[in-house]
């Protein structure tokens, strides 16, 4: 450790009067000393390196900091404070190696960074060798299409039920994301059915051709079931003007609209339910119609949560869906668990992303 002590003294001198090149040279020597014997340093010794590196980084050009980040990223014993500093750097060339590799970052670190930094930072986090459900939940909520694809393609990423369900809804209209999710081994049967139902024929064919032999029969069966259960979405858009006339007198009273939606759902008056949901959410009727006639109820569940409905109201609306007719009670129990786990803010983010996809597909 004598070498480290001497360098500490040299650092103090360098910071006072040395040139930029000299500071970079000292940074490299300190880094060499640490990297060469990192696994044998005590916590106290590692903390000393942390302090020294932190002082140097504050006084050198970014090119040298990028080099430091790349060298520290693979080291499990890297100094925690400097790693945390580098991970939060706005320059992705500096933060990227740490975000994608460093074992020093905790789930709390990753969640905080994912909530406060840009999409390039989130994409680097999404590429890590392993990711917990806690982190993927946040990445699904805050990430763009590239982040979602990176996550879905990452075999080491673990997803909660609600996280996977949100990812499936986000895949509607996105062939690349649909294909990535469809190749995962951890997607449940209900969500897989929804994924295939909203997929294009091109993506379905790709999933079928790339699936292991053991899964192909199952995929064919799901696709046959979907084809057999296709129901005309409604009697046609001509039914909505009538429903709009029914709802128009009360559209300014949101509490009354919600009560009427519940009543109409109980009577299976689909047109009025869809118009009412459109009034409350501001989403076009055709988008609500698409959710209502989906192969699974998750999208409609997200809409209900985004509107802050109680579960009983959401349940009655979902039960009015054509696809709900042949569902077992276990399916609704799973939806109820997801509904409880889903926050209103998260539902609103997912819904906005989905709406953006639908608008892009129409234009």
Winning range, highest mean pLDDT, from 13-22, 48-57, 93-102: 93-102
Across the range 247-269, mean pLDDT stands at 93
Which is higher by pLDDT, 274 or 13? 274
Q: Is the pLDDT of residue 161 over 80?
A: yes
pLDDT, the chain, mean: 87
SS3 for 131? strand
Across the range 218-242, mean pLDDT stands at 66
Across the range 122-149, mean pLDDT stands at 97
**What is the separation of C-alpha 25 from the centre of its chain, rounded to a whole number of angstroms?**
41
Residue 233 pLDDT grade (very low, low, confident, very high; cuts 50, 70, 90): very low
Q: Which pLDDT value is given to residue 234?
A: 44
Residue 237 pLDDT grade (very low, low, confident, very high; cuts 50, 70, 90): low
Q: Which pLDDT value is given to residue 231?
A: 46
Per residue in 5-25, pLDDT (tens digit) is 566 666 656 665 667 787 788
Question: 92 exposed, middle or buried (CB, 10 Å; 0-12, 13-18, 19+)?
Answer: middle
Q: Which pLDDT value is given to residue 312?
A: 94
Instruction: Please say whether the beta carbons of 281 and 302 come within 8 A.
Output: no
Distance, in Å, from the CA atom of 178 to the CA atom of 173, rounded to the nearest integer, reads 8
Q: Which pLDDT value is given to residue 128?
A: 98
Q: Which pLDDT value is given to residue 232?
A: 46
Any idea which of 111-120, 206-215, 235-244 has the lowest mean pLDDT?
235-244
Residue 356 pLDDT grade (very low, low, confident, very high; cuts 50, 70, 90): confident
Question: Secondary structure of 214-281 in the HEC alphabet?
Answer: HHHHHHHHHHHHHHHCCCCCCCCCCHHHHHHHHHHHHCCCHHHHHHHHHHHHHCCCHHHHHHHHHHHH
Distance, in Å, from the CA atom of 83 to the CA atom of 100, rounded to the nearest integer, reads 12
Across the range 54-82, mean pLDDT stands at 92
Which is higher by pLDDT, 198 or 179? 179
Residue 323 pLDDT grade (very low, low, confident, very high; cuts 50, 70, 90): confident
Please list the residues that pair with 157 across neighbouring strands.
Answer: 131
Q: Which pLDDT value is given to residue 108?
A: 98
Across the range 199-227, mean pLDDT stands at 79
**What is the separation of C-alpha 171 from the centre of its chain, rounded to a whole number of angstroms?**
11
**Running DSSP on this structure, what letter comes out for residue 283?**
-
Secondary structure (DSSP) of 194-228: HHHHHS-HHHHHHHHHHS-HHHHHHHHHHHHHHHH
Which is higher by pLDDT, 77 or 228? 77
Distance, in Å, from the CA atom of 284 to the CA atom of 286, rounded to the nearest integer, reads 5
Distance, in Å, from the CA atom of 37 to the CA atom of 29, rounded to the nearest integer, reads 13
Distance, in Å, from the CA atom of 358 to the CA atom of 363, rounded to the nearest integer, reads 9
Across the range 228-248, mean pLDDT stands at 70
Query: Strand ranges (DSSP E) for 48-145?
Result: none
Distance, in Å, from the CA atom of 57 to the CA atom of 298, rounded to the nearest integer, reads 48
Secondary structure (DSSP) of 300-317: HHHHHHHTT--HHHHHHH
Q: Is the pLDDT of residue 268 over 60?
A: yes
Q: Which pLDDT value is given to residue 217?
A: 79
Instruction: Please say whether the beta carbons of 197 and 296 come within 8 A.
Output: yes
Q: Is the pLDDT of residue 81 over 70?
A: yes
Which is higher by pLDDT, 211 or 127? 127
Q: Which pLDDT value is given to residue 105?
A: 97
pTM: 0.84
Q: Is the pLDDT of residue 308 over 70?
A: yes
Per cent of the chain over pLDDT 90 is 53
């Amino acid at each position: 450790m004598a070498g480290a002590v001497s360098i500490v003294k040299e650092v103090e001198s360098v910071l006072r009067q040395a040139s930029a090149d000299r500071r970079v040279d000292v940074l490299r020597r300190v880094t060499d000393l640490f990297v060469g014997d990192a696994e044998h340093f005590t916590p106290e010794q590692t903390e000393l390196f942390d302090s020294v590196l932190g002082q140097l980084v504050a006084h050198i050009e970014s090119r040298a900091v990028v080099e430091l980040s790349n060298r520290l990223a693979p080291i499990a014993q890297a100094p925690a404070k400097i790693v945390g500093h580098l991970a939060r750097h706005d320059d992705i060339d500096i933060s990227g190696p740490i975000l994608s590799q460093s074992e020093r970052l905790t789930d709390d670190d990753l969640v905080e960074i994912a909530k406060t930094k840009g999409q390039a930072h989130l994409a680097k986090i999404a590429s890590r060798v392993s990711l917990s459900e806690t982190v993927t939940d946040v990445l699904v909520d805050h990430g763009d299409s590239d982040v979602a694809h990176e996550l879905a393609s990452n075999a080491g990423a673990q997803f909660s039920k609600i996280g996977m369900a949100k990812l499936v809804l986000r895949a509607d209209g996105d062939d690349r994301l649909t294909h990535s999710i469809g190749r995962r081994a951890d997607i449940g049967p209900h969500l897989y059915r929804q994924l295939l139902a909203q997929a294009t024929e091109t993506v379905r064919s790709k999933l079928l051709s790339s699936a292991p032999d053991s899964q192909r029969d199952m995929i064919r069966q799901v696709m046959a079931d979907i084809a057999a259960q296709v129901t005309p979405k409604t009697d046609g858009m001509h039914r909505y003007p009538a429903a709009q006339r029914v709802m128009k007198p009360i559209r300014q009273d949101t509490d009354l609209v919600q009560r009427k939606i519940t009543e109409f759902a109980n009577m299976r008056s689909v047109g009025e339910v869809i118009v009412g949901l459109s009034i409350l959410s501001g989403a076009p009727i055709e988008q609500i119609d698409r959710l209502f006639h989906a192969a699974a109820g998750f999208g409609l569940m997200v809409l209900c949560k985004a509107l802050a409905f109680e579960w009983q109201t959401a349940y009655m609306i979902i039960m009015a869906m054509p696809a709900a007719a042949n569902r077992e009670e276990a399916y609704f129990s799973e939806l109820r668990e997801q509904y409880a786990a889903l926050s209103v803010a998260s539902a609103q983010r997912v819904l906005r992303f989905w709406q953006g996809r639908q608008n892009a597909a129409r234009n």
